[in-house]
Structure formats: C-alpha cells, structure tokens
C-alpha cells in the first residue's frame, strides 16, 4: 500500500484528490466515506478501506469471496489470465503464444447484437456509465470502471454484490460476461437497479452453454428465459443471442480436447489446436442461429433494458419464452 499525503494520492502519473472519492460510499451501509491518511473510513460504521496505488479497495468482506488483505499484501485477484495485455508478465514464445491465442479466442462473436451504447448516447449524450468487471475494456464518455481485480482504468476494486455507490448514481450500467462469476446474480442485479437513475439502462451479456472458465470463480448459467427473469426489474429494449448453437459446440469441442489430459505442459498445445480447428467453423452460426429453436442451445444471451418501478410478475415472464 502506498504512503500518501492526507488529501493527495499518486496513482501512476495522475494525482488523485479527495474529490475523486466523493462518488463512493461504504459498501456495507452506503454512508459517506472520508479520506483519513492513506485510507478511506466510513462516517457511520468507521470501517476502513485501504488505497492500493491510489485505488480504493471497497469490499464488504462479510458478503464477498474476496479479502481486502489480499490486495494490500499481494496482487489480489487478477483474473484467469492476468487480464491479458496490461498484467501479462510472460515473455518470449510464451507471450507470443498468449497473444495469438487471445486473438483467436476473442474474435468477434456472431449474433443478433443490438448497439446499446449507441442507443444510450442518442437518448442521453452526457450519460454517466458504470462498468462492472471492466477488465481491459474501454468506452467513450463519462465512465466509471470497477472490477474485483486491479485492472486497467478502474476507479475502485469492488464486488457487485455490494456496489460502493449511492442510489441513483448512473444513467447506464454495463455487465459484460460478469454475472456467471458472482455467487448471487439476483443480488447483483438488484444493486445495479439501485445505483441506476430513474429510466436508467442496463446492458448485460451472460453465458448459457459454455464450459467452466475462470476456475472457482464461475457459478451460474442462464437460459434465455432465466436471463430475462433475472432482469425482471427492467423493461426490455432488446435481447437475443451472443453466439448461437455453433458457438456452443465450439466451446464444448475446445473443452473436450482439454479433457484428454491434466498434464499442464500439454494443455497449451491442445488449447491452440482447438482454437485453430474451430476458428473457421464459427461462420456457420450465420445459418444455425436464425431459428427460434436455436435459443435452446445458444452460447450466451444479451439483455438491454430500462429501469422500471416494480418487477415483472413471473406469469408474464413465462409468456416471454423464446425457443421450440
């Protein structure tokens, strides 16, 4: 943890002042935080939250799988692969392999995407956005980045179960490939609902048919209807598939190759083999994701919605089923 002056912190090359922290509240009781020396302290419960390289670690440890001490004394959680570029400390052939494999695995997913950010920018040009599980992502505009890892651009380390922001703080929240990694997705969506302003927007993508990824930090999968129910506190603007049945088959085939052995030296070669074999196959999804039946075996789903006052009843949710 970095030693600092009472009202100025140095994060990289940027000077972080007290004003930087005024948008945060205690993740436990949602009360104001005060900058005291080299940490933040809750004005109500007196809990203390350290600053690591100028980044506040705002975790409710009683309700999180993460510990504050891990960020102070070690690097904390850095994601399954160190979030690629900014935290990848490998070199030589290993670094080249990781970059090449990443390009193959992160190739654009085919599907019926709706440009939610363009829609939001037209409705609210000065919208305040918050990103959960930001990783390496970067967006234009007034954006607050959060993560459980000390990733690039983040404003704080926080857990989506207890967001350290006041009610009605943001015009939109983005949770891309996040909700499968939380213990209680409904609580996290409730927190998203809380920090959104009236008529605020949520943009979320969550897997359905995918093997486990990020190891122990992978908990849940959602059918289309299950995903819709998760966001029953929102009116739908758009929703659909992010990768159809072919993408599901690709993920399962890649994992099938890895199931051949637990040998750690063989795994990278099998992973690369799976990526090379399946990369051209992905284009078949253009033909296999057009039917309603494809919703039964899609790879992932996205939801774009607008905050409503009361949740949609389950009887109405059932009528929103897509599939055969």
Per-residue burial over 112-151, b if 16 or more Cβ lie within 10 Å, else e, is eebebbebbbeebeebbbbbbbbbebeeeeebbbbbbbbb
Per-residue burial over 268-278, b if 16 or more Cβ lie within 10 Å, else e, is eebbeebbeeb
State the average pLDDT for the chain.
86
Answer yes or no: is pLDDT of 77 > 80: no
- pLDDT band for 81, please (50, 70, 90 cuts): very low
CA angle at 169 for the pair 14 and 301, rounded to the nearest 5°:
95
Mean pLDDT of 91-96: 71
What CATH topology corresponds to 90-318? Rossmann fold (3.40.50)
- pLDDT band for 14, please (50, 70, 90 cuts): very low
Mean pLDDT of 128-141: 92
Answer yes or no: is pLDDT of 139 > 50: yes
In the chain, which ranges are E strands?
8-11, 14-17, 33-36, 39-42, 48-52, 55-58, 128-132, 142-147, 156-158, 170-176, 196-207, 234-241, 300-307
- pLDDT band for 5, please (50, 70, 90 cuts): very low
pLDDT score, position 9: 31
- pLDDT band for 135, please (50, 70, 90 cuts): confident
pLDDT score, position 1: 30
Distance between CA 274 and CA 164 in Å, rounded? 40
**Contact yes or no for 192/184 (Cβ under 8 A):** no
Mean pLDDT of 262-269: 92
pLDDT score, position 4: 29
- pLDDT band for 16, please (50, 70, 90 cuts): very low
pLDDT score, position 79: 55
pLDDT score, position 85: 46
Distance between CA 211 and CA 253 in Å, rounded? 10
- Give pLDDT tens digits for 290-306: 899 999 999 999 999 99
What tokens appear for 185 in the block?
A: 């997705």
**Contact yes or no for 295/221 (Cβ under 8 A):** no
Q: Crossing angle for the helix pair 245-258 and 267-278, nearest 10 degrees? A: 160
What tokens appear for 174 in the block?
A: 């983005």
Alpha carbon 167 to its chain centroid, in Å, reads 20
- Give pLDDT tens digits for 212-240: 988 899 999 999 999 999 999 999 999 99
pLDDT score, position 78: 63
Select from 175, 174, 305 the least CA-distant residue to 236: 305
What tokens appear for 193 in the block?
A: 């609902």
**Contact yes or no for 220/273 (Cβ under 8 A):** no
Answer yes or no: is pLDDT of 274 > 70: yes
Higher pLDDT, 18 or 165: 165
Residue 14: count of CB within 10 angstroms of its CB: 10
Distance between CA 303 and CA 179 in Å, rounded? 12
Distance between CA 18 and CA 117 in Å, rounded? 30
Mean pLDDT of 142-171: 94
What residue spans define the domains of the chain?
Answer: 8-73, 90-318
Name the DSSP class of 294. Answer: G
Range with lowest mean pLDDT among 34-43, 205-214, 225-234:
34-43
- pLDDT band for 96, please (50, 70, 90 cuts): confident
- Give pLDDT tens digits for 46-63: 999 999 988 999 999 999
Higher pLDDT, 151 or 315: 315
pLDDT score, position 230: 98
Residue 44: count of CB within 10 angstroms of its CB: 14
């Amino acid at each position: 943890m970095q030693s600092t002056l009472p009202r100025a912190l140095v994060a990289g090359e940027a000077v972080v002042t007290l004003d930087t922290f005024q948008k945060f509240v205690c993740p436990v009781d949602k009360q104001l935080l005060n900058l005291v020396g080299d940490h933040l302290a809750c004005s109500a419960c007196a809990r203390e939250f350290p600053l690591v390289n100028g980044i506040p670690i705002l975790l409710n440890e009683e309700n999180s799988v993460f510990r504050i001490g891990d960020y102070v004394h070690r690097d904390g959680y850095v994601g399954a692969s160190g979030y690629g570029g900014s935290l990848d400390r490998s070199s030589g052939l290993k670094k080249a392999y990781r970059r090449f494999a990443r390009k193959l695995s992160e190739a654009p997913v085919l599907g019926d995407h709706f440009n939610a950010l363009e829609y939001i920018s037209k409705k609210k040009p000065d919208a305040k956005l918050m990103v959960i599980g930001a990783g390496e992502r970067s967006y234009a505009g007034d954006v607050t980045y959060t993560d459980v890892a000390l990733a690039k651009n983040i404003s704080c380390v926080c857990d989506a179960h207890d967001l350290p922001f006041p009610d009605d703080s943001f015009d939109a929240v983005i949770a891309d490939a996040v909700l499968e990694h939380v213990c209680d997705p409904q609580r996290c969506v409730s927190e998203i609902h809380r920090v959104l302003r009236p008529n605020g927007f949520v943009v979320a993508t969550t897997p359905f048919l995918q093997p486990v990824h990020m190891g122990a930090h992978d908990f849940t999968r959602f059918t289309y209807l299950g995903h819709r129910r998760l966001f029953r506190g929102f009116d739908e603007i758009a929703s659909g598939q992010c990768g159809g049945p072919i993408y599901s088959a690709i993920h399962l085939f890649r994992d099938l190759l890895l199931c051949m052995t637990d040998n750690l030296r063989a795994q990278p070669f099998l992973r690369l083999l799976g990526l090379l074999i399946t990369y051209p196959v992905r284009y078949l999804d253009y033909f296999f994701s057009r039917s309603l039946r494809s919703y039964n075996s899609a790879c992932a789903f996205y939801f774009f919605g607008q905050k409503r006052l009361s949740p949609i009843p389950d009887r109405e949710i059932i009528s929103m089923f897509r599939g055969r």
